[in-house]
């Protein structure tokens, strides 16, 4: 404790602290000491109160957890929330989402949609998110303004979109963006080839070479449905995961999103490669895509993180909802109520997500030395009383609306549910305008 500053920047006094490491630990009547953006100590509250901090926050009915990590999403698609529901993946994409995107996606759409997503994520305790969408430079700009931590996976397709004419341009723009943010504290830029069915082998091979050269992660939709896997086998005699492996694209920095329809050989391959899996249970259930076998992956030593996917296929961006769904789905799938217990699922939404994004040295748990990315959850309301077990309450009873405060690098971004870095009134008006614009040119009759 020799490094403990006499006058730390902030002292937070929650009722409970759930540091995530060690798994399942709950500290009662402890405080978090923050200085220069970092957690410097966890102390019994009576001891912490002897320090004189610039700011103290009393959180008498609150549980404090590490900021949640949403490891997969498409932030700007929040403007398409509720636009096309109750369709299977391919008709949903081809007949509804892609045409709407063709008509509306622009820098302005991405700016407003990303802001909307960030507002929602902060109010549900997400302090780090991974995003894959067009015009990532706009998402980066508003992320910088709002202060969230993020990984931007710039999209690559083999066909033209509003953001580029083909692989050449996507890679050129994406790598330029990566250079712009190379030294940024909170924003990183990585490769985001959309999926093996939208990006051919030639482009994937190029990305494999570039990612190895630049030591950059690759974020890709993979095995989202059984249909995708079967079609690939028909087309090229190989499962998409095997294709990635053959092209040199499967390793510890590969973030495989969805991963349903996995056999033992797939799980063994993911484990041997040390690849990351990102499970999006609500999106998978809503589109009836399939089930990611989380328990089997974890038993094989594969890290599994959680993601919401875009709001058009979820339809919210709450990691609390995702934790709840992941736990319930795993129990149902394994016919075992002990599968994926609360402590494990909270770990997936925090440290597991940080690990998947290569950020686990900095965030994902409440430990001295890590960035002060923290969330306070108020358990005093009727939905969460009485508190027999705060961890169970978080996973099985909270929906995100109990989040009261969020900090990133010790900076307060949400206070008593008020967004401090974002003008919600102005944004709300722009959301209404977008609804009218989208409805005016919609595919629906
Ligand atoms: Zn997705």
Q: How far is the CA of 240 from the centre of ligand 1 (A)?
A: 16
Q: How far is the CA of 224 from the centre of ligand 1 (A)?
A: 9
Q: How far is the CA of 214 from the centre of ligand 1 (A)?
A: 24
Of 376, 352, 375, 373, the residue nearest 362 (C-alpha): 373
Mean pLDDT within 186-203: 97
Q: How far is the CA of 76 from the centre of ligand 1 (A)?
A: 12
Mean pLDDT within 423-434: 98
Structural contact between residues 8 and 34, judged by C-beta atoms closer than 8 angstroms? yes
Q: How far is the CA of 309 from the centre of ligand 1 (A)?
A: 5
Q: How far is the CA of 354 from the centre of ligand 1 (A)?
A: 18
pLDDT of residue 443: 56
Q: How far is the CA of 161 from the centre of ligand 1 (A)?
A: 17
pLDDT of residue 413: 98
Q: Can you tell me the distance from the alpha carbon of 346 to that of 258, in angstroms, rounded to the nearest whole number?
A: 18
Q: How much is the mean pLDDT over the chain?
A: 96
pLDDT of residue 89: 86
Q: How far is the CA of 74 from the centre of ligand 1 (A)?
A: 6
Q: Can you tell me the distance from the alpha carbon of 424 to that of 122, in angstroms, rounded to the nearest whole number?
A: 12
Q: How far is the CA of 34 from the centre of ligand 1 (A)?
A: 35
Q: How far is the CA of 282 from the centre of ligand 1 (A)?
A: 12
Q: Can you tell me the distance from the alpha carbon of 292 to that of 71, in angstroms, rounded to the nearest whole number?
A: 15
Mean pLDDT within 203-216: 98
Judged against a pLDDT cut of 80, whether residue 3 lies above it is answered with: no
Judged against a pLDDT cut of 80, whether residue 405 lies above it is answered with: yes
Structure tokens at 133: 């969408």
Structural contact between residues 232 and 240, judged by C-beta atoms closer than 8 angstroms? yes
Q: How far is the CA of 73 from the centre of ligand 1 (A)?
A: 6
Residue 390 CA, chain-centre distance (Å), reads 23
Q: How far is the CA of 63 from the centre of ligand 1 (A)?
A: 30
Q: What domains, with CATH codes, occur in the chain?
A: 10-66+364-409 (2.30.40.10), 68-356 (3.20.20.140)
**Which residues have C-beta within 8 Å of that of residue 386, sequence separation ≥ 6?**
none
Structural contact between residues 105 and 350, judged by C-beta atoms closer than 8 angstroms? no
Q: How far is the CA of 281 from the centre of ligand 1 (A)?
A: 12
Judged against a pLDDT cut of 70, whether residue 92 lies above it is answered with: yes
Q: Can you tell me the distance from the alpha carbon of 238 to that of 243, in angstroms, rounded to the nearest whole number?
A: 6
Of 250, 327, 254, the residue nearest 295 (C-alpha): 327
Q: How far is the CA of 270 from the centre of ligand 1 (A)?
A: 20
Q: How far is the CA of 280 from the centre of ligand 1 (A)?
A: 8
Q: How far is the CA of 379 from the centre of ligand 1 (A)?
A: 32
Beta bridge partner(s), residue 58: 13
Within 225-364, where are the H helices? Answer: 226-236, 240-246, 264-273, 281-286, 294-299, 319-334, 342-347, 353-356
**Which residues have C-beta within 8 Å of that of residue 176, sequence separation ≥ 6?**
none
Q: How far is the CA of 374 from the centre of ligand 1 (A)?
A: 26
DSSP H or E segment with residue 69: strand 68-70
Q: How far is the CA of 221 from the centre of ligand 1 (A)?
A: 6
Q: Can you tell me the distance from the alpha carbon of 149 to that of 151, in angstroms, rounded to the nearest whole number?
A: 7
Judged against a pLDDT cut of 60, whether residue 2 lies above it is answered with: no
Judged against a pLDDT cut of 80, whether residue 228 lies above it is answered with: yes
pLDDT digits (tens, 9 = 90+) for 353-377: 999 999 999 999 999 999 999 999 9
Q: How far is the CA of 157 from the centre of ligand 1 (A)?
A: 14
Give residues whose Cβ lies within 5 Å of ion ligand 1.
309
pLDDT digits (tens, 9 = 90+) for 265-300: 999 999 999 999 999 999 999 999 999 999 999 999
CB-based burial of residue 234 (10 Å sphere; 0-12 exposed, 13-18 middle, 19+ buried)? exposed
Q: How far is the CA of 271 from the centre of ligand 1 (A)?
A: 22
Mean pLDDT within 308-334: 97
Q: What angle do CA 396, 377, 292 make, to 5 degrees?
A: 40
Tokens 């490669």 -> residue? 273
Of 113, 194, 188, the residue nearest 151 (C-alpha): 188
Structure tokens at 200: 């051919």
pLDDT digits (tens, 9 = 90+) for 161-183: 999 999 999 999 999 999 999 99
Q: Can you tell me the distance from the alpha carbon of 125 to that of 321, in angstroms, rounded to the nearest whole number?
A: 11
């Amino acid at each position: 404790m020799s490094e403990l500053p006499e006058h730390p920047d902030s002292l937070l006094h929650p009722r409970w602290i759930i540091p995530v490491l060690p798994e399942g630990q709950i500290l009662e009547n402890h405080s978090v000491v923050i200085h220069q953006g970092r957690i410097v100590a966890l102390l019994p509250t009576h001891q912490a109160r002897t320090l004189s901090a610039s700011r103290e926050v009393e959180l008498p009915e609150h549980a404090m957890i590490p900021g949640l990590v949403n490891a997969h999403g498409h932030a700007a698609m929040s403007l398409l929330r509720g636009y096309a529901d109750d369709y299977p993946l391919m008709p949903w994409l081809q007949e509804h989402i892609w045409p709407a995107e063709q008509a509306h996606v622009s820098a302005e759409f991405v700016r407003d949609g990303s802001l909307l997503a960030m507002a929602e994520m902060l109010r549900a305790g997400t302090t780090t998110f991974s995003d894959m969408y067009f015009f990532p430079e706009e998402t980066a700009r508003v992320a910088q303004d709002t202060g969230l931590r993020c990984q931007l996976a710039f999209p690559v397709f083999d066909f033209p979109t509003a953001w580029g004419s083909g692989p050449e341009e996507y890679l050129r723009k994406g790598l330029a963006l990566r250079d712009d943010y190379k030294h940024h504290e909170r924003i990183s830029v990585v490769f985001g080839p959309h999926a093996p069915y939208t990006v051919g082998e030639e482009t994937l091979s190029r990305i494999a070479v570039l990612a190895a050269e630049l030591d950059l992660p690759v974020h890709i939709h993979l095995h989202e449905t059984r249909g995708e896997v079967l079609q690939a086998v028909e087309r090229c005699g190989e499962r998409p995961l095997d294709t990635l492996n053959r092209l040199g694209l499967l390793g510890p920095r590969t973030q495989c999103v969805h991963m349903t329809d996995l056999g033992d050989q797939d799980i063994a391959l993911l484990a041997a490669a040390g690849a990351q899996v990102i499970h999006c249970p609500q999106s998978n259930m809503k589109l009836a895509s399939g089930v990611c076998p989380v328990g089997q992956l974890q038993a094989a030593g594969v890290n599994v993180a959680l993601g919401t996917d875009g709001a058009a296929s979820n339809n919210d961006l709450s990691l609390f909802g995702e934790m709840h769904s992941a736990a319930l789905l795993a129990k149902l799938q394994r016919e075992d109520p002990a599968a994926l217990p609360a402590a494990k699922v909270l770990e997936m939404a925090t440290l597991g997500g940080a690990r998947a994004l290569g950020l686990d040295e900095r965030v994902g748990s409440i430990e001295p030395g890590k960035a002060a990315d923290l969330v306070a959850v108020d358990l005093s309301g009727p939905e969460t009383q009485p508190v027999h077990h705060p961890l169970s309450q978080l996973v099985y009873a909270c929906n995100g609306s109990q989040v009261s405060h969020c900090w990133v690098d010790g900076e307060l971004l949400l206070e008593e549910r008020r967004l401090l870095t974002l003008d919600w009134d102005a944004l709300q008006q722009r959301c209404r305008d977008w609804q009218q614009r989208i409805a005016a040119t919609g595919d629906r009759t």
